[in-house]
Amino acid sequence: MMRGGEIVLHPEESVAVREIFDMYLRGMSLKSIAAVMTVPYNVDKVWNKNMVSRILENEKYIGADGYPAVIEEDVFRKANEIKQRKAAACVCTDEKKKYLHSLVSGGSSLTESEVDGLLVSVINKLITEPKLAAPDKLPEYQPTDDIKAMEQKFTSMMQDMTADIDEIARLITDVAAAKYDACPYDNRDRTMKIIDLLTCRDLLDTLDIGLSKQIVRAVHINKGIATVELVNGKMIIA
């Protein structure tokens, strides 16, 4: 407040500021602190958590811009380190919720905690035995109807002495490309990446979202049975 042309500490309000920092450092939430404040924040304004937050962030209380210091810099720093950690934790929690929700298909009634535990269990199973991530067997090649039609056309053209040689050459290329596209892919590179990520890794106590994103594609629920699909297509019953 102003007194005699100088900025000086307001007796009651400066005590309130110190109490806010003290309560926050003792673990009280912004909302809880707001609920017990008795010194008015401002005329006709009731305390809320946003007001408490602004008090904690205001550097004027440590003497910035020529204001008299109300609290020590160390107290201010500790309080704001706690605020930053809590803010980061909230972001991580929201990210985790969205991630877990995005994984599950099949109209699941599983809670986030249950999906979390399911993933930890499956990942630990894979850490214990990484080769479980490998496909059970390689898929077999099956020609499509289009490929069969092109092959029949090729056979007919080869028997036709008047057939255009250039068209036959183009057809050979088209058939080869179509067969290549239809060849089964065993996702070997993805499988090896999963195995590399899990080999010699410590078992998880809590879900590692970064690791999970690299190896888990989805969680399927069918008739109450949960199956985890890996990024290489391997299905593992939880």
Nearest by Cα to 33 from 13, 49, 17: 49
Domain assignment present for residue 98? The answer is: no
pLDDT in tens, 54-71: 999 999 999 999 999 999
Sequence-separated (6 or more) residues with CB below 8 Å from residue 128: 203
Let me know whether 155 and 56 are in one domain: no
Dihedral pair phi/psi, residue 206, rounded to 5°: -130, 165
Q: Is 8's pLDDT higher than 90?
A: yes
Q: Is 139's pLDDT higher than 70?
A: no
Higher-confidence residue of 1 and 186: namely 1
Share of the chain above pLDDT 90, in %: 49
Domain count, the chain: 3
Domain assignment present for residue 97? The answer is: no
Q: Rounded distance, CA 128 to CA 125, Å?
A: 5
User: Are the beta carbons of 197 and 183 closer than 8 angstroms?
Assistant: no
The structure's pTM equals 0.46
**pLDDT of res. 125:** 93
Higher-confidence residue of 126 and 41: namely 126
CATH number of the domain at 52, please: 3.90.1750.20
Mean pLDDT of the chain: 87
Q: Is 92's pLDDT higher than 60?
A: no
Let me know whether 52 and 149 are in one domain: no
Tell which of 29, 57, 91 closes a domain.
Answer: 91
User: Are the beta carbons of 186 and 139 closer than 8 angstroms?
Assistant: yes
**Region 19-23: what's the mean pLDDT?**
96
Higher-confidence residue of 141 and 184: namely 141
Provide the domain limits for residue 75: 2-91
Least-confidence region, from 71-80, 81-90, 91-100, 162-171: 91-100
Least-confidence region, from 3-7, 66-70, 79-83, 133-137: 133-137
Let me know whether 118 and 224 are in one domain: yes
Domain assignment present for residue 21? The answer is: yes
Let me know whether 114 and 221 are in one domain: yes
**pLDDT of res. 93:** 72
What number of CA atoms fall less than 13 Å from residue 68's CA on the CB side? 13
Let me know whether 111 and 224 are in one domain: yes
Q: Is 188's pLDDT higher than 80?
A: no
Share of the chain above pLDDT 70, in %: 92
